[in-house]
Amino acid sequence: MSEFRFEKIRVPAELTLPTGPPVAGAFFVAGTASDHDGPERVGDLLNAEPGFFPFQRADGSTVLYNRAHVVLAALGPQTREAATDPGYSVAKKLDVTVTLSTGTVLTGAVPVYRPRGRDRLSDYAQAGGPFRYLVTAAGEVLVNAAHIVELKERHAT
């Protein structure tokens, strides 16, 4: 085996692109991450660098997708990545409604990794990588911030 090969793990997901129906398949992530304990997360992969990443479609074909054109990545129902982010347990969680460039409206919770007093929704909107976790009732999604049209905090009634 080559010294340049590394263990890859397939993480089931569904991609939403600006055009066409959602694409079911799987991401390839590294078995170990370079900057934290455990395997690489899809969030790490999507936020790593601009450009293309490989994605295996449900039909078994592997294609390259441009990160900038991925609106969101819905992770498989068994995938729980957001809570493995450092600081997630102490981050403030805000209930939000997110309207995307495709017209899709999502509701869920976003973790805000900011000090107390700077943990408002506007602080969340200005900080972080291009892809951000949204924890919905259906599971976790990574939303491309460039495709967020409206972000609104939901208040309990």
pLDDT tens-digit map of 59-72: 999 999 999 999 99
Give the span between the Cα atoms of 82 and 136, in whole angstroms: 11
Per-residue pLDDT, 78: 82
Q: What is the CATH number of the domain that holds 143?
A: 2.30.30.100
Query: What's the pTM value of the predicted model, to 2 decimals?
Result: 0.88
pLDDT tens-digit map of 86-135: 788 888 999 999 999 999 999 999 999 888 888 899 988 988 789 999 99
Q: Is residue 100, in this structure, part of any structural domain at all?
A: yes
pLDDT tens-digit map of 29-65: 876 666 666 778 899 899 988 999 999 999 999 999 9
Per-residue pLDDT, 34: 65
Give the span between the Cα atoms of 65 and 78, in whole angstroms: 23
Of 21-30, 79-88, 140-149, the least confident: 79-88
Tally the domains of the chain: 2
Q: Hunting for tokens 């294609």 — which residue is that?
A: 63
Tell me which DSSP letter residue 106 carries: E
Residues in Cβ contact with 63 at an 8 Å cutoff, skipping those fewer than 6 apart = 54, 55, 57
End position of a domain, from candidates 27, 52, 71: 71
Q: What is the CATH number of the domain that holds 31?
A: 2.30.30
Q: Is residue 3, in this structure, part of any structural domain at all?
A: no
Q: Give residue 51's domain range.
A: 8-71
Residues 52 and 109 in one domain: no
Residues 57 and 113 in one domain: no
Residues 92 and 126 in one domain: yes
Q: Is residue 92, in this structure, part of any structural domain at all?
A: yes
Q: Is residue 2, in this structure, part of any structural domain at all?
A: no
Residues 13 and 36 in one domain: yes
Per-residue pLDDT, 79: 82
Q: Is residue 58, in this structure, part of any structural domain at all?
A: yes
- Given a cut of 70, is residue 84 above it in pLDDT? yes
